[in-house]
Structure 1
Amino acid sequence: MLELLDAWVERGWLRRIDRALVRWLKELEPSTPEPLLLAAALCSHQYGRGHICLDLSATLLDADATLSLPPEGDVGEEMPTKPSELLEGSQLESWLAAIKGSPLVNSEASPLVLVENRLYLRRNYRFEQAVAGHISSRLAPMEVSPELKPQLDALFSAPGLDWQKLACGLAFRMPFTIITGGPGTGKTTTVVRLLGLKQQLALASGQKLRIGLAAPTGKAAARLTESIRGAVEKLALPQDVKAAIPVEVTTLHKLLGVIPQSRHFRHHHQNPLHLDLLVVDEASMVDLEMMSALLDALPASAQLILLGDKDQLASVEAGSVLGDLCQGADLGGYDTDTQRFLESLCGESLAAFTQGQSALAQCRAMLRVSHRFGSDSGIGQLARAVNLGQSEAALKLLRENRDDLKLLPIKDDGVALSRLAIEGYRGYLQVLSAERGSERDTWAAKVLAAFGRFQMLCALRKGPFGVEGLNQEIAEALKANGQLEADHGWYEGRPVLVTRNNYTLELMNGDVGICLRVVEADGSQRLRVAFPVVGGIKWVLPSRLSDVETVFAMTVHKSQGSEFDHTVLVLPDTLSPVLTRELVYTGITRAKRCFTLAAPKLGLLAAAVERKVERASGLREAFSQG
């Protein structure tokens, strides 16, 4: 077995850490049977791919697809024995028996945990149990004042079935609430009205709610801060109430108080956050470990509201917490009591939605009307087609050459992409030059805003149509066109993406800055990098930035929490495990005004749209019975 694992590692099928786990288990228990060692290696492999556990049943049913082994594109000769070949003829019962019979599984503090047909690394099982337990403790309905309906009517005056209003009502009834919906459906508007009403009622009783606002990344936090500030100003509430609504959004790491050089936080169940209510935006980006830490630090008396698009890409790290918690949200699933409560608020029937008994479903509201993309919006129609797995409809929309949808066939030479990039990034470079005489922070803010109007997104990092290759090609094209300095290090106009949290500089993974030449107090000129922060600009010397990369192109994952006027999604030339429906949908919905699909092979779009990813976990099952 160990020799085969060595071959898989050499081939790039497994990580070294997957093999190291098996060797450690073998040292702990030399008599460990090979079926368990194989399961442990595959469990670790799946964790590296974002899964919380190894689904043994799915693995036996179709190991190649479940494990993505061999990786797509690996068609070389002298291929080692595949996991599917190794498992051929195996029965689930015998595999389970080999696993259950080991002291490495399900004993106190054992490294592996088996639940039904799911095998976990113990730490992941612990995180999953913690998340399920904390949420379960917040599923009992609260008493609702009979005055709620007229109060909601004053804030939500639209006739008919208003899901924003119902979401707000649910948040008054449940200590834990999920408000999900696509771009432009009003998640921020809804939560600001909710916070305003809750704070108004608290102030009327002589109290003031301690409200926290958080997002997974600095970029998402800055965007939400701007959105909330604007929404608060528009609220039809007294000025003292609006003044009591927080508008500053922090990152989850900063909220919890990360301890440098560790995975631990200052806030936990023994030192909880001093909050009565916490709102977390872009919740689809929150992985299982972070969600566990967040819930552990939240006082039992505090209310939690998650906002996010359930159909977006899951978190970079393991888990798909929001997706798991929102399974079936589009169907409703409300029990009789919840349905009656919601119908009493809106005066409309919810009979068209399915009924259910899951306690989790009583906490969810799905916003269904996009105020950004009307019924005639190409971007909106394309996003819906992709979300429904309708690849032919998606291709038809792209070929119609609408004002907001473009299709760009590309070749290996990358000429078409370079031309598009030169035109797309012309705007921020013109602002950089034209506004140079402005006050320094004002100038930087204008350049950053102009840069954010256009962005190329990639599915992959490597390859001719990946982030690394495109960033180099675009930079060279802009330099050859005379739009950038011909310098290979730091140069004015270079956009950079922070790739690792820097707590000293208070820059987070995903933050974007632009290098500018500024005039110092002594009259000398010096390159500094401008980053947008809440309330202004942060200037950093390039020499202090080690974990950054040029960002004319970024991965779709890194773009989450951002929006751009014009988004270009560049597909690779070969099928990859990351090329999925969720990735395409996320790329499309980053665009506000125009979306361009750049593809060397249109058939890959259909393949991606038809491939929906479900990360293995037990979180959905934890709530499926009640």
Structure 2
Amino acid sequence: MSACNADTIHKALESEAREKNPYFGKNEWEPLTEDIIIVDEASMIDLPLFYHLVCALKENATLVLVGDIHQLPPVGAGAPLKDLIASGIVPVVTLHHIFRQEEGSSIIVNADRVREGKEPVSDNETFILKEVSSEEEAFNALMKFCDEYQYIEKNKLQMQILSPMYKGICGVDHINRRIQALMHSEKEINEFGFCVGDKVMQRRNNYEKGVYNGDIGIVWAVNDNKIFISFDDKEVVYEGEEKKDLQLAYAVTVHKSQGSEYEIVIMILLPSQARMLQRNLLYTGITRAKAKTILISTKNTLYQAIKNYKSVGRCSLFLPLLKGEVQC
């Protein structure tokens, strides 16, 4: 499949950004031409977008959805992948051999344990569980791990810090500011809050530049009111209002990390983040790592997250419609 072209759903459907009533150039009157459409990370698709995707399929086209319903649900309304599986009317294949992590990895073992409602077990190698008693202790532990694994010096793109929230001493915003301050003096940081060497994330899709929501890169130059970013496969110049599409990315939320993978993940779970703590959030964070997961948490917070398996209800008629229990 590596030889096939890949696009975001919005790009494939020729979406035009509008505040209300979004327009899609590909639709039931002007459908996609492909015979087979494969959608990865399908658990992230909300119901309105899934509707537009299905409308744009040509007659007799095949739609293949690849996703993990145990991860976080879509940000928008509904959970179509979960409903389709629950309906029993579509063929479902379950993957039993994991390719992201090595076979027998403690990451896989502990992801399965969390999914089953059990606490993870540290092996102090591929899965490290650091128990703390306060947020200050958690932050200090985080900084020590960053130093131990040379996050700032060598592994900015191979490692990722995950936190459930933006606010708080162990929230995304504070962690980003503190790590940036370790690297640069205040004079080096420009008016938009970035300087050379910073790890940044694109916050929305920009089809003209070929960068998308969640893409991570490194600032390699700042001059003449322009910011130059090196991404995986390209270098992009930001100017004017485009610079507002960037944010520091030494730490990101678990939601923002969904769909991505990293060699090493450091995840923080604390009492102040209680309203966000759910089993699927913990499971999603753990499974972002390929080689090593480091989980920093208090005992009670970890227990709370694992036992809270009831995610926010998704009220829609999609599943009853699929089952034929209601009619339009």
Report the TM-score, using the length of structure 1 for normalisation. 0.47
Native 8 Å contact 2:202 2:212 kept in 1: yes
Change (3 A) 1:564 1:580: same
TM-aligned CA deviation for residue 539 of structure 1 = 1.9
TM-aligned CA deviation for residue 371 of structure 1 = 4.3
Q: Secondary structure of 1:385's partner? A: helix
After TM superposition, the structure 1 stretch with the greater mean CA deviation from structure 2, 408-417 or 280-289, is 408-417
TM-aligned CA deviation for residue 506 of structure 1 = 3.5
Aligned residues: 314
Hey, what does 1:615 align to over in structure 2? 314
Hey, what does 1:421 align to over in structure 2? 146
Change (3 A) 1:542 1:376: same
Q: Secondary structure of 1:367's partner? A: coil
Match of 1:508 among 185, 209, 212: 212
**How many Å separate the matches in 2 of 1:568 and 1:374?**
19
Native 8 Å contact 2:206 2:212 kept in 1: yes
Match of 1:473 among 156, 173, 178: 178
**How many Å separate the matches in 2 of 1:313 and 1:542?**
34
* One-letter code aligned to 2:82: G
**How many Å separate the matches in 2 of 1:577 and 1:557?**
14
Q: Secondary structure of 1:574's partner? A: helix
Hey, what does 2:118 align to over in structure 1? 390
Tell me how large the CA RMSD over aligned residues is.
2.6
* One-letter code aligned to 2:209: L
Runs of 4+ more than 6 Å apart: none
Specify the structure having the higher radius of gyration (Cα). Answer: 1
Q: Secondary structure of 1:381's partner? A: helix
Hey, what does 1:455 align to over in structure 2? 160
* One-letter code aligned to 1:608: A
Match of 2:4 among 220, 243, 247: 247
TM-aligned CA deviation for residue 417 of structure 1 = 1.5
Task: Give unpaired runs (5+ residues) of structure 1.
Answer: 1-191, 193-227, 229-245, 329-357, 431-449
Match of 1:301 among 60, 70, 87: 60
Match of 1:547 among 245, 255, 259: 245
TM-aligned CA deviation for residue 607 of structure 1 = 1.0
TM-aligned CA deviation for residue 575 of structure 1 = 5.0
TM-aligned CA deviation for residue 378 of structure 1 = 1.1
The answer to whether 1:379 aligns with 2:107 is yes
Native 8 Å contact 1:378 1:402 kept in 2: no
**How many Å separate the matches in 1 of 2:52 and 2:108?**
35
TM-aligned CA deviation for residue 327 of structure 1 = 3.1
Deviations, residues 61-114 of structure 1 (Å, cap 9, x unaligned): xxxxxxxxxxxxxxxxxxxxxxxxxxxxxxxxxxxxxxxxxxxxxxxxxxxxxx
Native 8 Å contact 2:36 2:61 kept in 1: yes
TM-aligned CA deviation for residue 275 of structure 1 = 1.4
Native 8 Å contact 2:72 2:284 kept in 1: yes
Match of 2:126 among 394, 401, 404: 404
**How many Å separate the matches in 2 of 1:424 and 1:542?**
34
**How many Å separate the matches in 2 of 1:372 and 1:478?**
32
Q: How does 1:255-266 map to 2 (within 5 A)?
A: 255-262=12-19, 263-266=22-25
Report the TM-score, using the length of structure 2 for normalisation. 0.86
Deviations, residues 354-374 of structure 1 (Å, cap 9, x unaligned): xxxx423xx111112224546
**How many Å separate the matches in 1 of 2:95 and 2:15?**
33
* One-letter code aligned to 1:465: C
Task: Give unpaired runs (5+ residues) of structure 2.
Answer: none
* One-letter code aligned to 1:408: K
Of Structure 1 and Structure 2, which has the larger fraction of its residues in helix? 1
RCO greater where, 1 or 2, for CA within 8 Å and sep 6 or more? 2
**% identity of equivalent residues:** 30
Q: Secondary structure of 2:83's partner? A: helix
**How many Å separate the matches in 2 of 1:492 and 1:485?**
12
Of Structure 1 and Structure 2, which has the larger fraction of its residues in strand? 2
Native 8 Å contact 2:199 2:219 kept in 1: yes
TM-aligned CA deviation for residue 306 of structure 1 = 0.7
* One-letter code aligned to 1:620: L
Hey, what does 1:558 align to over in structure 2? 256
Change (3 A) 1:527 1:618: closer
